Structure 1
Amino acid sequence: MTPFALSFRPYLATLLCAFALLFTAASCSDKGKVEGANMLYGTNGKVWKTAKETDAAGDKVKQTDAQQQETLHIFSNNTYSMTGTGGATSGKFSFDQGAKTLTLTPDGSTSSNTFNVETLTDNKLTLVGTSGAKLMLEAE
């Protein structure tokens, strides 16, 4: 090899490593990525479990064992069911991809809860409440 090629080699390796890190960071960050409604329910239905929760200040909220067992099951017919320590709740949902909102209306209720959808991919769902608290869910 020529002296130039030998002196250029460490810079090329550094450049390639930097490019690889940038590509990896860009592809791993799903924040702000909101895909179609079918990501909520898959083919017929999908079960979501809590991965992490933060309060309005962004501080992590410690989950109890019971809270870690809570599930949100979203079905392709625009219905949902939630199971947890307080029992089960079911109802209807609507998803607005353009507005990035998910609205849950429990059966028999005239009120609903609307969440901003910060992330929606095949395996991640992040919901943001009106207070700014976040619930990060992972597909089961």
Structure 2
Amino acid sequence: MLTLVMYACGSKEGKVEGQNMLYGTESKIWKTRREEDATGDKVKQTSEQKQEEIRFFANGQYVMTSPTQSINGKYTFDQANKKITMTPDNGNMSNTFDVATLTDDRLTLRSADGAELQLEAE
């Protein structure tokens, strides 16, 4: 029981710290740690998905890369409402996610349907 309480008190999950945690001093790379579907089940990552990364820059730009493609875009982070909106440069369709966790080394994005992408800083 003590271990459970200590884990719960020390856990970073659920904390949303300052916006600079997203991009560090100039930019920061985030890689997938775990992905869950809307029911909370773990989604198995392909070898290509394991190589995907998102780099957030302090100037509001981002780059998503994988072994086969690269997507540039702009993002806005609403810290008060714990939301991030990402808009690719090549389209007008943006995606908004709830930011469930944002610390120096963890970022958890939750889609409207409840699916989660848990990322860790490289």
- Pick the TM interval, shorter chain: over 0.9
Question: Structure 2, unaligned stretches of length 5 or more?
Answer: none
Cα distance in 2, alignment partners of residues 62 and 85 from structure 1: 18
- What's the % identity of the aligned pairs? 53
Cα distance in 1, alignment partners of residues 61 and 55 from structure 2: 9
By how many angstroms is 1:109 displaced?
1.8
TM-score, length-normalised on structure 2? 0.93
| Paired amino acid for 2:5 | L
| Paired amino acid for 1:128 | R
Q: Are 1:45 and 2:27 counterparts?
A: yes
Q: 2:103 aligns with which of 112, 117, 121?
A: 121
Cα distance in 2, alignment partners of residues 100 and 49 from structure 1: 20
Q: Report the 3-state secondary structure (helix = DSSP H, G, I; strand = E; otherwise coil) of the residue aligned with 1:67.
A: helix
2:78 — aligned with what?
Answer: 96
Q: Report the 3-state secondary structure (helix = DSSP H, G, I; strand = E; otherwise coil) of the residue aligned with 2:81.
A: coil
TM-score, length-normalised on structure 1? 0.82
Specify which structure has the higher proportion of strand.
2
| Paired amino acid for 1:65 | S
By how many angstroms is 1:24 displaced?
4.4
Specify which structure has the higher proportion of helix.
1
1:25 — aligned with what?
Answer: 8
Q: Report the 3-state secondary structure (helix = DSSP H, G, I; strand = E; otherwise coil) of the residue aligned with 2:33.
A: strand
Moved over 2 A (4+): 20-25
The RMSD of aligned alpha carbons is 1.6
Q: 1:55 aligns with which of 15, 37, 52?
A: 37
Q: 1:133 aligns with which of 112, 115, 118?
A: 115
Q: Are 1:74 and 2:60 counterparts?
A: no
| Paired amino acid for 2:92 | T
Question: Structure 1, unaligned stretches of length 5 or more?
Answer: 1-16
Q: How many residue pairs align between the two structures?
A: 122
